[in-house]
Amino acid sequence: MRTGQRDQTYSPLSWADSGRSVLSLNIRHLWLFGLWPLHDFWPFYLYTACGLLLGFWNVVEGALAAYFSWGDMDDTTLALLTAITQGCGALKMVVFLYTRRHFSALVRRLDALVSLQSEVCGGGSVPAAILRASRRRAKRTTLGTLLFMLSQCFVWYPIPLVAHAEERRLPFAQHPWDGNRHHYALSYFAQCAAGLLMTQISFGVDCLFASAMILVAAQLQILTVRLKEMAVVSRTLCKGKTAYFEEDLLTRSTDQMYNSLRICIEDHQKILRFVTHLQNTMSPMAIMQFGASVLVICFALFQATYSKDFSSALKCTSFLPVPCTQVYLYCWAANEVTIQAEAVSLAAYSSSWVETSPRFKLSLRILISRAQKPLILTAGHLYRIDKEAFLSLVNASYSYYALLSQTTNK
């Protein structure tokens, strides 16, 4: 029975499944750009293969451009910047296709987790408001970041045709080996198509994880509200009643509190198990993005500062917030999960446990002890993801930029 349930959890998502999911926007965005198949349709797999081929061709093209332009720091860093950006998107695509079953399980488990506590989110309650706010925040974060990334196309793609109309320049890597003379229109189109696909896929995967972490943080916040609202019947309400009635009322109240606590503990354990699955699925993507972002920030900052070509400086200046945003998405969302997980312990202690039964107090101590263990997400199971990590990565990028600047000045 458990094997059957596991197979169903890891089974591919259909179009109808994606529509019912809390991550429907993220899933269908990745479907639109050829990454997440929602039906068994062979032209879609051809579309995916073409996108992957374009992505790796753009990486090879950028590496060749950096090799042939070696010695010209301006062209070399610009070629490396685009090659690293495209390469990160292509590698994310490969990892996703290899571990697609884990992404399907991630979505199904998150949907089950959200529906689990939806039963206590009725009407105008505080948990209901938290749940609605988290879903809005996840969608707005996804839409905002994806549209911001899409806006880069209006800067990078037309500039070569406007600023260098007679020089036959390409949007990304140039072809120093032939001066962009051969197959210029085809190369221009291939770079634009690959750039759009790889950046949208890269950002789409990042937004998927960020949305999942936002919703998990909300589930932990709802759990804290449920723990705080647990209360035993006060003895002042039993004044004037018989001793038997008072004892019976208190007994039923403490039993009800114990049952509520037991359910909260079970929900907390399910949240922790989901976070473990999220960690395992997200870890390789996060470490790739962190490494790529450090280098891209360095190269973009160098281009924006030292490039003699105004159009290159403009493109890199507009692009500089992109890798910063990708890193910040992970760090901000993971930090929210850590903060809300820490709040569970305080919420449990703040409940009305003084007049409860011994078994309630024992269970509460176990919950508090487990909740006091920090819930930390990592990149590559090595690098802690939080707001401090964002600052350290930006500092590392600036250190590499300073080193590159000193090399240039010499």
Segment 116-172, tens digit of pLDDT: 877 666 655 788 889 899 999 999 999 999 999 999 988 889 988 888 778 888 889
Classified as helix, coil or strand, 172 is coil
State residue 124's pLDDT score: 59
State residue 49's pLDDT score: 95
Could you read off the pLDDT of 241-274 as tens digits, one per residue?
444 444 555 566 677 788 888 888 999 999 999 9
Ranges of H-type helices in 152-234: 153-156, 159-163, 184-229
The encoded tokens of residue 131 equal 């749940």
Residue 196 pLDDT > 90, yes or no? yes
Residue 236 pLDDT > 50, yes or no? no
Could you read off the pLDDT of 290-329 as tens digits, one per residue?
999 999 999 888 888 888 788 888 888 888 899 999 999 9
State residue 13's pLDDT score: 93
**CA Rg, the chain, in Å?**
26
More confident residue, 408 or 33: 33
Handedness of CA 32, 37, 38, 41 (dihedral sign): positive
Determine the average pLDDT of the residues in 333-347. 93
> pLDDT tier at 85 (50, 70, 90 boundaries)?
very high
Place of tokens 């997440």: 36
More confident residue, 56 or 232: 56
C-alpha–C-alpha distance, residues 43 and 29, integer Å? 18
What region, left, alpha or beta, does residue 122 occupy, with left being phi > 0 and alpha being psi -120 to 50 degrees? beta
Q: pLDDT over 70 for what percent of the chain?
A: 90
Determine the average pLDDT of the residues in 377-393. 90
Residue 43 pLDDT > 70, yes or no? yes
